[in-house]
Amino acid sequence: MAMVSPVSAITQRTHTIRVQMASRQEIEGDSVVSRIEDIIYVAVAKDVKDSKSTLVWTLQKSGGKKVCIIHVHQPAQMIPLMGTKFPASSMKEQEVKAYREIERQLMQKTLDEYLLICRRMGVRAEKVHIEMDSIEKGIVELICEHGIRKLVMGAAADKHYSRRMMDLKSKKAIYVRQQAPAYCHIQFVCKGNLIHNREGNLHGADVEVASPLFQVNPNNETGQPNHLRSQSVTVVPTTRVALSNPAQDLFRRVRSVDIKTFGFSPINTEGLSAPKSNLDADGDSCESDRLSGSSPHQGSDYSSFSSEVAPVPYVGTEGSENGLELSELHQYKEDLHQSSPPSVLDGSIDDTFYDQLEQAMAEARNAKREAFQETVKRGKAEKDAIDSIRRAKASEIFYFEALKQRKEMEQALAKEKEELEKVNNLCSEVKEELEIALDQKSSMERQIAESEQMVKELEQKIISAVELLQNYKKERDELQTERDIALKEAEELRKKQGEASSTHMPQFFSEFSFSELDEATRNFDPSLKIGEGGYGNIYKGVLRHTQVAIKMLHSHSLQGPSEFQQEVDVLSKLRHPNLVTLIGACPDAWALIYEYLPNGSVEDRLSCKDNSPPLSWQIRIRIAAELCSALIFLHSCKPNSIIHGDLKPANILLDANFVSKLSDFGICRLLSQDESLNNNSTLYWKTDPKGTFAYMDPEFLSTAELTPKSDVYSFGIILLRLLTGRSALGITKEVQYALDSGNLKVLLDPLAGDWPFVQAEQLARLALRCCEINRRSRPDLGSDVWRVLEPMRASCGGSSSFRLGSEEHFQPPPYFICPIFHEVMQDPHVAADGFTYEAEALRGWLDSGHDTSPMTNVKLEHCNLVPNHALRSAIQEWLQQH
C-alpha cells in the first residue's frame, strides 16, 4: 500500500479549508442578491378601489415575501377654484404650492391605506413614490432607480375586464412592457386574473445587480469574479542543502510549507478569500482527511459549511502531490538512503523521525483547526452584526412609525378634544333651549286645557244656539207663509185700486220688456257679462240710447221674487248721490236695470282686477265718507229706517269720477217704531242670517236680530280693508295687534301711496270701535263716525251733497276756496304738496320761479298737477244749488 506524504496531507487539508471559505463568500454574496429578488413591487393607482384587486392578488401570491408599493404621483394640471378649474400656469405660485401640498397629503393617505391592507393580510410592506407628469415613464424610472426585478401592475381597469381578455389593454401597461429593463420580471393582472407575464433576462440581471457583491483579484486582468476563477498552486523547490540527518531535513521541509503560501488567511477584514488552486474534480478529500486525523463532519458548523462545498482533491492538476513534485520526493528518498549510515535505517532512528513527524503534523492540524474555528467565529460574528444592523434599522423604522402615529394620535386627540368642547357647548345650548321648550310646552298645555274648556263651553252654546235657530226657523216658516198670504192680498188689493196707489208715492223707474233687454245685450252675449252674484248675472247694455247694467235672475238664484220686489220698492223711492240709481225693471224676466258705473266695484279695485290701477288713499278716505253718508241716510229714513244687511266692497260701485254708489238691496230690512223688542229705542228685525260671513255682525249670527248697528260692524270691516288691502277674515285681530305693537305702518296698503300716519291710525282705531263684539259699544254713524270722516274727506278734496241737519249753508265750504286767489275754484288741481289749488293760480306761482309749496313753504318734489275731478263735481253741484 502506498504511503501518503505528511506534507501532502497538510497541503490538501489547507486547500480544502480555503475552498470552503470561498464557497461561503459566494453563498453570502448570493444571499444579498436573493434578498433583492425576494422583494415584490406592486404599482398602484391614486384610487384604492382601482388597484385593490391587484394588491390583494399580489399578497396572496407573495408566499410571505416582502412587498413594496410603488406609486407615480401625477400633479394635476387643472386646479379647482370657486366651483370651476383653472390651469396651473395661470394661477399664483403660492396657490399652486398650497394645492400641490394638499395633493401630496392625499397621496400619502392613499398609500397608507394600501399599507393597511398589507398589514391586515399579515405581509410586511413599504412604499416608494415619485412625482412625474407621465405615470408610465415614472414606473420605468422607478424600475431603473431601485433595480426592481419583480413587478406586478394592472393590465387594464377592472371595468374593462372580460374572460376573453388575453392581452394588455392599458396604454401605460403596454409602454412599461416595452420600455422596462430586460432584467425586470413583470406580471400584468386585471381583476384578480393574470393576463400577461413578461419574463426577465436573468443573465442580464446577474451582471447588473450582483456584480458589486464580488471582489476582483488585482492579479486577474479579466476582472472575472473570484468564485468563478481557480488557479493551481505549485510549490517550487529551492536548492537543497545536504543535511547530516535526513529526518531533520524532511521535518524542516514540512515546517517550511507556510499556510500563507496556499492563500489561506485566518483573519481577513475584506471577507473570505477565494481558493487559489484549480483542483481535479476526480479527487477525494475524505482520504486526506482520514490520513490527517480529522473528520469531515467534525463540529456542527463545519459539517454544515462543508456540505455546501464540492469534494476537494489532494492531487494538483499539474501532476504535483500537494504542491510537491513527485520527482523531488523520490530524489529525497534516494538521498536519504545514500547519505544515512546503516544505523539510521534502524528502527530506533525511524521511530524518532516519525515521532517528530507526527508531532509536526499534530501541530499543523491544531493550527488548521484553530484557524477554521476562528473563521467560523468570524463568520458568525459578521452574521450577528448584519442581523443586529438589520434589527436596528427595523427598530428605527418602527420607532419613526410609532412616533408618527403618536403625533397623528395627539393631533387627532386634540381635534377630538376641541370637538368635544364644541359638543359640550352645543349640549349646554340645547339643554337651555330644551328647558325653554319645556316651559313653552307647559304654558301651551295650560293654554290648550283652557282652550278645551272654552271649546266645551262654546259647544254647549252652539247646541243651545242650534236649538234656538231651529225654533226661529219654524217661526220664520210660519211668518213667511203669513207674509206670502199678505203679499197676495196686497197684490189683489193693488190691482183693485189700480192707479190710486201710485198717487201717494211717485215711481221713479220704468218698466221694460224682455225683448228690449235681449236687444240691449245682443241676446245676452257672454262678452257683455260684467259680473255675477247670488242673484244672477249682470250684463252691460245700451237701452234707449243709455248705457245700463242689467241684472238677470237665474233659475237657481239664492234670491227670489220677494228680494226682487223689495229692491224695486226701496230703490224706486230713494234718491241719494251715493246710492245706485234704479232706472227700471222687467217683471216678466225678474230683471233690474241700473245706471252703468264704468269703474266696477271697490272689491275689484282693491284686488286690481284686470290690471286696473289701485285706489289712492285720498279716494279711499272719500269712499269711506260717502259710504258713511249713505248709511246715515238709510238709517234715518222715515217712517221706516232701512238696514242694508249685506255691506261689502263688492256691493260698492264706482262711477267715472270714482264716486261710490251703494247697491244690492235684495236682503235689506225696513224697521218701524212698532217693531222694537221692548220700550227702549233699539230696533231690530228677526230673520235668518244672510249675507257674507266675514262682514256679518257676530251678534246677528248668534241672536238673528238685525239692527242698524249690524251695518256699523260691516262698515268697520270695509274701513279696515280700505286701510290695509288685506282679506276680511281675521283682519280685526291683525290691526289690533299692529296698533298694540306700534307696527301699523307695516299693515297699511302700499298701493294706496304714502298714507298720512296720523289719519291712518285714527281711521284704524275708529274701525276697530265699529267692529266691537258688543253692539252697544259700537259708535253712532251720525254723531261719532261722521265727525271724524268729514274733515278727512274735506282735506282730500272730496265733497258730498248730503248734509247733516236741515239748514242750508250759503257760504262755500273752505275747501272750495283757492289758497292763492281766495275764490271758489273753477278748475281745481292737486299739487305735489297734497293741497288743491286753482290750476291758473298754481301755474302762475310756479312760472314766477317758485319751487316751494304756497302752504308749507317746503320744496315741491315735482311740478306736475293732477285734476281733482271729485272736488270739481262738488263745486259745480254747490254752484247749481246756490
List residues bridging with 585 in a β-sheet: 511, 592
Lowest mean pLDDT among 120-124, 408-412, 791-795: 791-795
Question: Is residue 814 reached through a cis peptide bond, with omega within 30 degrees of 0 on the bond before it?
Answer: no
The single-letter code of the amino acid at 854 is P
Residue 272 predicted with pLDDT over 50: no
Q: Cell 501541530 appears where?
A: 363
What is the rounded CA–CA span in Å between residue 276 and residue 234? 10
Lowest mean pLDDT among 319-328, 455-464, 624-633, 859-868: 319-328
Q: In terms of Cα–Cα distance, which of 67, 66, 184 is closest to 114?
A: 67
Q: Cell 257760504 appears where?
A: 811
**pLDDT band at residue 325 using 50, 70 and 90 as cut-offs:** very low
What is the rounded CA–CA span in Å between residue 871 and residue 795? 11
Phi/psi of residue 543, nearest 5 degrees: -125, 115
Q: Give the 3-state secondary structure of residue 807.
A: coil
Residue 218 predicted with pLDDT over 80: no
The pLDDT value given to residue 878: 81
pLDDT digits (tens, 9 = 90+) for 410-469: 999 999 999 999 999 999 999 999 999 999 999 999 999 999 999 999 999 999 889 888
The pLDDT value given to residue 389: 93
Higher pLDDT, 76 or 507: 76
Residue 812 predicted with pLDDT over 60: yes
Higher pLDDT, 545 or 425: 425
Lowest mean pLDDT among 108-112, 251-255, 747-751: 251-255
Contacts of 170 (CB under 8 A, 6+ apart): 154, 155, 156, 157
What is the rounded CA–CA span in Å between residue 527 and residue 592? 19
Nearest-5° Cα angle at 799, 795 to 803: 115
Q: In terms of Cα–Cα distance, which of 112, 49, 105, 45 is closest to 74?
A: 45
Residue 13 predicted with pLDDT over 60: no
The pLDDT value given to residue 641: 84
Q: Cell 463532519 appears where?
A: 297
What is the rounded CA–CA span in Å between residue 724 and residue 726? 5
Lowest mean pLDDT among 432-446, 646-660, 677-691: 677-691
pLDDT digits (tens, 9 = 90+) for 607-621: 998 888 999 999 999
Laid out side by side, the sheet with 125-131 consists of 125-131, 67-73, 40-43, 150-154, 185-190, 193-198
DSSP string, 275-310: P-S-B-TT--HHHHHHHHT--TT-SHHHHHHHTTS-
The pLDDT value given to residue 15: 59
pLDDT digits (tens, 9 = 90+) for 17-68: 555 555 555 544 454 445 555 789 999 998 888 898 899 999 988 887 889 9
The single-letter code of the amino acid at 880 is Q
pLDDT digits (tens, 9 = 90+) for 349-376: 457 888 888 889 999 999 999 999 999 9
The reported pTM is 0.39
> Do 236 and 243 form a contact (C-beta atoms < 8 A)?
no
Contacts of 811 (CB under 8 A, 6+ apart): none
The pLDDT value given to residue 820: 84
Residue 858 predicted with pLDDT over 80: yes
Contacts of 748 (CB under 8 A, 6+ apart): 723, 724, 755, 760
Contacts of 477 (CB under 8 A, 6+ apart): none
The pLDDT value given to residue 224: 36
pLDDT digits (tens, 9 = 90+) for 390-405: 889 998 999 999 999 9
pLDDT digits (tens, 9 = 90+) for 773-785: 998 999 999 888 9
The pLDDT value given to residue 5: 53
Lowest mean pLDDT among 332-341, 399-408, 682-691: 332-341
Candidate ranges 60-69, 255-264, 672-681; pick with highest mean pLDDT: 60-69
Burial 108-131 (b: 16+ CB within 10 A, else e): eebbeebbebbeeeebebebebbe
The single-letter code of the amino acid at 555 is S
Q: Is 377 annotated as a binding residue?
A: no
The pLDDT value given to residue 581: 85
What is the rounded CA–CA span in Å between residue 719 and residue 385? 107
* Residues across the chain: 882
The pLDDT value given to residue 126: 92
List residues bridging with 817 in a β-sheet: 824
The pLDDT value given to residue 731: 92
The pLDDT value given to residue 589: 80
The pLDDT value given to residue 846: 87
Residues recognised as catalytic:
646
Percent of the residues in the chain that have a pLDDT greater than 90, as a whole number: 29
Could you say which DSSP state residue 316 is in?
A: B
- Given the candidates 2.60.130.10, 3.40.50.2300, 3.40.50.620, 3.30.70.1230, the CATH classification of the domain at 39-211 is 3.40.50.620
Mean pLDDT of 738-763: 91
The single-letter code of the amino acid at 706 is L
The pLDDT value given to residue 855: 83
Q: What CATH number belongs to 513-596?
A: 3.30.200.20
What is the rounded CA–CA span in Å between residue 514 and residue 502? 24
Mean pLDDT of the chain: 75
Name the fold adopted by 598-803: Transferase(Phosphotransferase); domain 1 (1.10.510)
What are the E-state strand segments in 181-242? 185-190, 193-198
The pLDDT value given to residue 91: 85
Residue 515 predicted with pLDDT over 90: no
- Given the candidates 3.30.230.10, 3.40.50.10420, 3.40.630.30, 3.30.40.10, the CATH classification of the domain at 811-882 is 3.30.40.10
The single-letter code of the amino acid at 184 is C
Residue 131 predicted with pLDDT over 80: yes
What is the rounded CA–CA span in Å between residue 841 and residue 819? 9
Residue 562 predicted with pLDDT over 60: yes
Higher pLDDT, 826 or 285: 826
SS (H, E, C) 365-420: HHHHHHHHHHHHHHHHHHHHHHHHHHHHHHHHHHHHHHHHHHHHHHHHHHHHHHHH
List residues bridging with 825 in a β-sheet: none
The pLDDT value given to residue 19: 54
Contacts of 861 (CB under 8 A, 6+ apart): 832
Mean pLDDT of 573-585: 85
**pLDDT band at residue 668 using 50, 70 and 90 as cut-offs:** confident
The single-letter code of the amino acid at 37 is E
The ranges assigned to domains in the chain are 39-211, 513-596, 598-803, 811-882
The pLDDT value given to residue 124: 85
Mean pLDDT of 204-225: 36
Contacts of 823 (CB under 8 A, 6+ apart): 817, 838
